Amino acid sequence: MPRIWKFGDSVNTDDILPGKFAPFMAGEDVFQTFAFHYIRPEFAASVQPGDVLIGGRNWGLGSSREYAPQALKTLQVGGIVAPSFARIHYRNLLNLGIPAFEFDLTGLLEDGAQVSLDVQTGVLTHAAGTVQLPPPPEFLREALAEGSILAFFKKHGRFPGEPA
C-alpha cells in the first residue's frame, strides 16, 4: 500500500531537486535519484510507485526547473497534497500530469501512514477514514480533461478557452 511522505512548509525546488543534479549535469538516467537529496536523503531509494507527498504552504517555490517535478514523475509519485503551491511549479505539475491537490493533510496524517489515493475522484483513504480532496480549479478542467495543457494543445491546436 502506498505511504505518505510528509514535508513541512515552503518545500522549494532546490529541496525537490538541487540544481547541480539537473539532468544535463547528473545524467538523464539518474537525476531522479537525487530527489530530496539534502532534506530526505533516503527518499529516492525508498519511494514506491503511488506514494503520496504531503506538505505545508507554498509547495514548490523557487526555480522554474521542470526537471524537479520530472524527477518525482520518474519515481512514479502518485500525487502531491499541499494547502498552497507556488505558481510556476504548479503549472509544471499540471504539464507533466502529476496530480496536485490544494488541501492541508499535515494535521491529519503522519509520515509513513498507509493511504490510497484515487486521483480521478480525489478520494484519499487512510487507516481511520477517507478525505475528499478538492477538485482542480474550474479554469483548468478543460485542459485536464485531456490530461495536460500540452495534450490539449496537441489535440486541438489551440489553448483552452481560445476560439477554434
Partner 1 sequence: MTNPTPRPQTMAEKILSRRGTQVVYAGDLAVVEVDQVMVVDSIAQSFIQRMGQDLNATPRYPERVSIVIDHVAPASTVSVAQAQKEAREYAARTGVRLFDVGRGICHQVLMEEGLARPGWIVLGSDSHSTTYGAVAAFGSGMGATDIALAAASGKTWLKVPESVKVTFTGDLRRGVSAKDVALEMIRRLGADGATYQSIEMHAGDRFTRGERMTLANLCVEAGAKAGLVVPGGEILTAYGYDIPEWVYPDDGAAYVQSIEINLATLNPRMSAPSEVDNVFDVADLRGALRDVPVDQVFIGTCTNGRIEDLHAAADVLRGRRVAPGTRLLVIPASSQVMEDAMADGTLLTLQRAGAVLGTPGCGPCMGRHQGVLAPGEVCVSTSNRNFIGRMGDKDARIYLASPAVAAATAVMGRVALPEDVLNTPVPA
* Segment 101 to 130, residues that bind partner 1, using CB under 8 A: none
Size of the site for partner 1 (CB under 8 A): 46
Q: Is 84 in the site for partner 1 (CB under 8 A)?
A: yes
Of 103, 54, 45, 60, which Cα lies nearest the Cα of 78?
Answer: 54
Report the alpha-carbon distance of residue 20 to residue 157 in Å, rounded: 36
Q: Is 57 in the site for partner 1 (CB under 8 A)?
A: yes
Segment holding 135, helix H or strand E: none
Q: How far is the CB of 113 from partner 1 (least distance, A)?
A: 25
Of 101, 16, 6, which Cα lies nearest the Cα of 65?
Answer: 16
Report the alpha-carbon distance of residue 68 to residue 13 in Å, rounded: 6
Distances (CA, A) of 122 to 10, 58, 73: 23, 20, 18
User: Of 33, 58, 116, 125, which lies in the binding site for partner 1, with binding defined by CB under 8 A?
Assistant: 58
Asked whether the beta carbons of 110 and 4 are under 8 A apart, the reply is yes
Q: How far is the CB of 55 from partner 1 (least distance, A)?
A: 13
Q: How far is the CB of 78 from partner 1 (least distance, A)?
A: 21
User: Of 4, 43, 51, 65, which lies in the binding site for partner 1, with binding defined by CB under 8 A?
Assistant: 65
User: Of 25, 46, 123, 132, which lies in the binding site for partner 1, with binding defined by CB under 8 A?
Assistant: 25
Supply 24's cell numbers: 544535463
Q: Is 153 in the site for partner 1 (CB under 8 A)?
A: yes
x/- track of binding to partner 1 for residues 2-21 (CB under 8 A): --------x-x-xx--xxx-
User: Of 50, 73, 150, 156, which lies in the binding site for partner 1, with binding defined by CB under 8 A?
Assistant: 150
